[in-house]
Each structure stands twice: as C-alpha cells, then as structure tokens.
C-alpha cells in the first residue's frame, strides 16, 4: 500500500471528486518533475504519481518516461529541449524543487510563455524568504499562486502535500472543462465553483471546514462566499453554510450534480457512524 493512500483515507473527500465524471472519458496530462533518489522505494514522485492516476484522473509522465531521454542524445537535440516540448504538450507541470536538474527545468519552463502558466512548483518552506538565484530568478517569473511552500519532511507524503496537490489538480481540471459544462456558477471562477460544490455536498458546513479545502490562503474562499451569499445561492444558518434559495444552475449540470451527490452520500454516511454531536464534514486538509 502506498503511504499516500493512508493519508487520503483520513479525509472524507477530495476536491477532485467533483470532477470524477470527466475522469471516465478523458485524462489530464501531467508532467511530473523531481529529483530521482537512489532508492526508488523512497521516491516521492511515485507516491504522487499514484495519487494523480488513481484518484485525480491524470496521465502522468516522469522525466524517465519521455521517449528520447532513454537513448544517447543526438547532436541536434538536448535533454532540456525535449523536456520543454513535453511541458508544452501537458496540461499541468508539477515540479518538486530539490536538485540542480529541477532548478534547470523550472528556469526553462518559466522563461517560456507557452509553459509558464502550466507550472506548479513545490518548494521547501525553509527557502521561502531566502535571497537566492532560484527565488530572485525563475520563481519570480511565475505567478505567486503557482509556488507552493510546504514542509518536505524527508520527501515523504504529508497531509499538507495532499491538500495542495488536490487543489492544484482540481483547478487544472476546472480550466480544462470550463468552456464545456461548468457554466452555472455566478462569477466563473474556480474558488466559487469549489465553495458551492462543497456547501452542496456537506451542508451544513462550517467556515473552518471550508477553509481546509482551500488551504493556507483563505482570501479566495472569502471572496467566493461573499459572491454566493450576495446572490442568495449560499446562505448562513446558525453559523454554518447551506444552499440558498436562488437557483445556482447546478441542477442543469447532471454530471457534476451526480459527483456532488456521491460526495454528500459519503459525508452523510460518515456522520451517521460518528458520535451524535458530530455535525461538521471533514474535507481534505
């Protein structure tokens, strides 16, 4: 059993569970970059790859999976050009910084407009405020919300890592599908879609439990709730959030509605098994 499965088993649902309807007929292409350890049984990349493929509907490639990197390089090509080409063909590029190779990758991807918006960088929290070439160079070229600082803890999966990765991949799915069948939310943003889906799946739900889905930065959540409450799509009842009186349009999206219903059944089932006083759902945190 993968260590990351035990971590995921501690939560009632993932944000990606709201996109399971899409997992059945297409895949999100993810290029996963990170340092290759000497011992493959202690490889965080394989833990992450397992989660991406088993629960998040992704087709994942590691550097060693790319055709052209397993043969002697030709005089008219180089490894970095090959990897840039792979990044351009991917929906999402996830980089775990931790070696000279990954620094080269993030630099190459950050310098190209075609790949810059696809890149998500996981960096050790201890390096957040360090004045270095990496922070003042390639990372400065990326939008701030594309850099995630976390406690690496010897490259083992943690709940913090799962929460960040879940939100990043769910947002990538949202961008991939937004022009097809998720037009019902009021302002067309991922935070609004996610907040409304969680409220419909977990109501009544506390702000604290909603914040666990969104992670460290609660600003997008506060804005989403403000917009939803303003339009009466979400209401507050006894300090908890519940669906409002206005039609959100979710009923028109049958596929998404089924995924929300499945999450709600799971949440309610766990509530019934819990102590009678348990009233809050426990989303990914």
Q: Which CATH class is domain 190-273?
A: mainly alpha
Instruction: Give yes or no for residue 285 having a pLDDT over 50.
Output: no
Judged by average pLDDT, the poorest of 61-75, 97-111, 153-167, 215-229 is: 61-75
190-273 has the same fold as 3-177:
no
Question: For the segment 235-282, what is each residue's pLDDT rounded down to a tens digit?
Answer: 999 999 999 987 666 656 778 889 999 999 999 998 888 866 544 555
Give the pLDDT band of residue 210 (cuts 50, 70, 90).
very high
Mean pLDDT over each residue of the chain, to the nearest integer: 85
What does residue 241 show for φ and ψ, rounded to 5 degrees?
Answer: -95, 135
Q: What predicted TM-score, i.e. pTM, was given to this entire model?
A: 0.85
Quote the pLDDT of residue 248. 63
Q: Identify the CA nearest to 161 among candidates 1, 40, 3.
A: 3
| Domain 3-177, architecture per CATH | 3-Layer(aba) Sandwich (3.40)
Question: For the segment 44-67, what is each residue's pLDDT rounded down to a tens digit?
Answer: 889 999 999 999 999 999 988 876
Quote the pLDDT of residue 99. 85
Question: Domain map of the chain by residue range?
Answer: 3-177, 190-273
Quote the pLDDT of residue 74. 58
Instruction: Give yes or no for residue 23 having a pLDDT over 80.
Output: yes
DSSP of 121-134: EEEEGGGTT--SHH
Q: What are residue 236's DSSP bridge partners?
A: 241
């Amino acid at each position: 059993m993968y260590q990351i499965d035990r971590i995921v088993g501690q939560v009632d649902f993932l944000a990606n569970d709201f996109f399971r309807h899409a997992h059945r007929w297409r895949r999100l292409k993810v290029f996963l970059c990170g340092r290759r350890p000497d011992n493959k049984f202690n490889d965080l990349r394989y833990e992450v790859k397992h989660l991406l493929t088993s629960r998040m509907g992704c087709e994942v490639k590691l550097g060693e999976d790319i055709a052209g990197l397993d043969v002697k390089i030709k005089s008219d090509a180089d490894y970095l050009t090959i990897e840039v080409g792979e990044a351009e063909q991917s929906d999402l590029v996830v980089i775990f910084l931790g070696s000279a190779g990954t620094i080269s990758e993030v630099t190459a991807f950050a310098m190209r407009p075609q790949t810059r918006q696809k890149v998500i960088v996981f960096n050790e929290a201890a390096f957040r405020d360090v004045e270095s070439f990496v922070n003042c160079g390639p990372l400065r070229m990326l939008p701030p919300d594309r850099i995630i600082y976390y406690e690496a803890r010897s490259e083992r999966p943690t709940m913090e890592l799962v929460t960040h990765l879940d939100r990043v991949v769910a947002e990538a799915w949202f961008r991939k599908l937004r022009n097809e069948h998720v037009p019902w939310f009021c302002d067309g943003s991922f935070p609004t879609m996610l907040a409304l889906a969680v409220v419909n799946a977990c109501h009544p739900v506390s702000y604290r439990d909603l914040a666990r889905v969104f992670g460290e930065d609660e600003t997008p959540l506060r804005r989403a709730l403000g917009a939803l409450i303003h339009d009466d799509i979400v209401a507050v009842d006894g300090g908890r959030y519940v669906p409002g009186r206005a039609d959100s349009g979710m009923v028109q999206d049958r596929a998404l509605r089924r995924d929300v219903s499945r999450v709600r059944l799971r949440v309610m089932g766990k509530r019934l098994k819990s102590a009678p006083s348990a009233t809050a759902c426990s989303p990914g945190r």
